[in-house]
Amino acid sequence: MDMTEVRSAEQATEIAVSFLKRHRMLPLPISALRYLEDSWEVKLDVGAFVTRIATVHIHAKTGEITDYTVPVEEGKKSRR
The amino acid sitting at 62 is T
The pLDDT of residue 66 is 96
pLDDT tens digits for range 14-58 = 999 999 999 888 899 999 999 988 999 999 999 988 999 999 999
Least confident window among 3-12, 30-39, 49-58, 70-79: 70-79
DSSP 17: H
DSSP letter, residue 76:
S
Domain-wise residue ranges, the chain: 9-69
DSSP letter (8 states) at residue 63: -
3-state SS class at 66: strand
Length of the chain in terms of residues written: 80
DSSP reduced 3-state for 14: helix
Q: What is the pTM of this model?
A: 0.84
